[in-house]
C-alpha cells in the first residue's frame, strides 16, 4: 500500500478545496447519511464519519446544516449507492462510487466517460478484489510510535501506523473510523490533514507519456460527473 498521502492531499486540495463541486458532493452525502439514520452524528455513525471527512475539506457550516435540515424535514429525494468498476489506459484499474437519483443517467454518463477517454467499464467485481476498503488518517505532531501506543491503550485495532514526511498515517478497517477518531480526540488530537474512507490498491502500476495524460484526463472527467462521489485507482502518481 504505497499511497503517498501527502501528495494526494496536496493535489486534492489544489483541485477541490473551496469549490462548489466538492461542497455539493458532501451536501448530498451528508443528506443521504442523515436520512438513512438519525440526523444526529452522536447516534448515527455513518453521519459522524461524513462530517469528520467534510471538516478536512473545510466544508462550510451552512452547507452541512442545510443538508441535515433537509433530512430532518423528510426530504423526498432518494439516492441509490452505486459502484462502477473498469479499466483505464494500459490496464489501469478504476473504481467509481456514486450517489444517484437516476440510475440510468448515471450509468450512461460513467460508461460514456470511460469509453470516450481510453477506458472501458467492466462488470461488478472486475477490479474491486484488487483493492482494500480502508479508513485513513493523517496527522502531525506525534510520531508513529506515539500514535500506535495511544491506539493500543484505547484498545483500537489498526492495520498500520507509519510516518510519511512530517505526517503520521494510520490505516484501519472502515468500521474502526469512529473508534480511531475518538481515541485521538481523547488525547487532544482533533485536526487531521486526511480523514477518509478509501479503497487502497493492493499493488500500484506506473503510467507515463500519453497513457498518463489520458489516464489523468479520464479521472478528472469522472470526478466532474454530478453523481460521482469518489474515484479510486491503482496508478502511482
Question: Three-state SS across 151-174?
Answer: HHHCCCCCCEEEEECCEEEEEECH
Percent of the chain whose predicted confidence (pLDDT) is above 90: 70
Percent of the chain whose predicted confidence (pLDDT) is above 70: 92
Question: Tens digits of per-residue pLDDT, 4-43?
Answer: 665 555 555 555 555 888 899 999 999 999 998 888 998 9
The average confidence (pLDDT) of the chain is 89
The neighbour count for residue 55, using CB atoms within 10 Å, is 15
Q: Identify the pLDDT of residue 102.
A: 95
Asked which of 71-80, 91-100, 181-190 is least confident by mean pLDDT, the reply is 71-80
Q: Identify the pLDDT of residue 1.
A: 46
Domain boundary among 25, 48, 72: 72
Give the total number of structural domains in the chain. 3
Strands 160-164, 167-172: parallel, antiparallel or unpaired by DSSP?
A: antiparallel
Averaged pLDDT for residues 65-69:
93
Asked which of 12-21, 52-61, 217-226, 227-236 is least confident by mean pLDDT, the reply is 12-21
Averaged pLDDT for residues 64-70:
93
pTM of the model: 0.89
Averaged pLDDT for residues 43-70:
91
Domain check: are 212 and 124 in the same one?
A: yes
Domain check: are 59 and 175 in the same one?
A: no
Give the list of residues 6+ apart from residue 188 with CB closer than 8 angstroms, or none. none
Domain check: are 197 and 212 in the same one?
A: no
The neighbour count for residue 183, using CB atoms within 10 Å, is 21
Domain check: are 124 and 207 in the same one?
A: yes
We report the CATH number of the domain holding residue 48 as 1.10.10.200
Domain check: are 121 and 208 in the same one?
A: yes
Phi, psi for residue 192 in degrees, rounded to 5: -130, 145
Domain check: are 209 and 118 in the same one?
A: yes
Structural domain including 174 reads: 132-201
Domain check: are 33 and 147 in the same one?
A: no
Q: Identify the pLDDT of residue 174.
A: 95
Domain check: are 170 and 223 in the same one?
A: no
Domain check: are 136 and 190 in the same one?
A: yes
We report the CATH number of the domain holding residue 197 as 3.30.70.980
Q: Is the pLDDT score of 63 beyond 70?
A: yes
Averaged pLDDT for residues 45-55:
92
Question: Tens digits of per-residue pLDDT, 122-179?
Answer: 999 999 999 999 999 999 999 999 999 999 999 999 999 999 888 899 999 999 999 9
Q: Identify the pLDDT of residue 7.
A: 58
Domain check: are 167 and 143 in the same one?
A: yes
Q: Identify the pLDDT of residue 15.
A: 53
Quick one: which of 38, 34, 69 has its CA closest to 50? 34
Domain check: are 120 and 225 in the same one?
A: yes
Q: Identify the pLDDT of residue 110.
A: 97
Averaged pLDDT for residues 171-188:
94
What 3-state DSSP class applies to 95?
Answer: strand
Domain check: are 136 and 121 in the same one?
A: no
Averaged pLDDT for residues 173-199:
92
Quick one: which of 103, 81, 95, 96 has its CA closest to 35? 81
Amino acid at each position: 500500500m504505497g499511497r503517498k498521502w501527502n501528495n494526494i492531499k496536496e493535489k486534492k486540495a489544489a483541485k477541490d478545496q473551496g469549490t462548489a463541486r466538492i461542497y455539493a458532493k458532501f451536501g448530498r452525502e451528508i443528506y443521504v447519511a442523515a436520512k438513512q439514520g438519525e440526523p444526529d452524528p452522536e447516534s448515527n455513525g455513518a453521519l459522524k464519519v461524513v462530517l469528520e471527512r467534510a471538516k478536512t475539506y473545510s466544508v462550510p457550516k451552512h452547507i452541512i446544516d442545510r443538508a441535515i435540515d433537509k433530512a430532518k424535514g423528510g426530504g423526498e429525494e432518494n439516492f441509490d449507492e452505486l459502484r462502477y468498476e473498469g479499466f483505464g489506459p494500459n490496464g489501469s484499474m478504476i473504481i467509481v462510487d456514486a450517489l444517484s437519483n437516476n440510475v440510468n443517467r448515471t450509468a450512461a454518463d460513467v460508461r460514456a466517460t470511460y469509453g470516450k477517454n481510453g477506458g472501458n467499464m467492466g462488470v461488478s467485481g472486475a477490479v474491486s478484489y484488487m483493492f482494500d476498503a480502508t479508513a485513513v488518517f493523517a496527522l502531525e505532531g506525534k510520531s508513529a510510535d506515539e500514535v500506535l501506543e495511544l491506539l493500543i491503550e484505547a484498545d483500537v485495532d489498526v492495520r498500520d501506523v507509519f510516518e510519511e514526511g512530517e505526517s503520521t498515517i494510520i490505516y484501519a478497517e472502515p468500521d474502526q473510523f469512529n473508534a480511531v477518531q475518538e481515541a485521538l480526540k481523547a488525547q487532544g488530537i482533533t485536526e487531521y490533514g486526511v480523514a477518509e474512507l478509501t479503497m487502497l490498491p493492493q499493488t500500484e502500476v506506473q503510467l507515463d507519456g500519453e497513457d498518463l495524460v489520458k489516464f489523468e484526463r479520464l479521472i478528472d472527467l469522472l470526478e466532474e460527473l454530478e453523481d460521482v462521489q469518489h474515484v479510486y485507482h491503482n496508478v502511482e502518481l
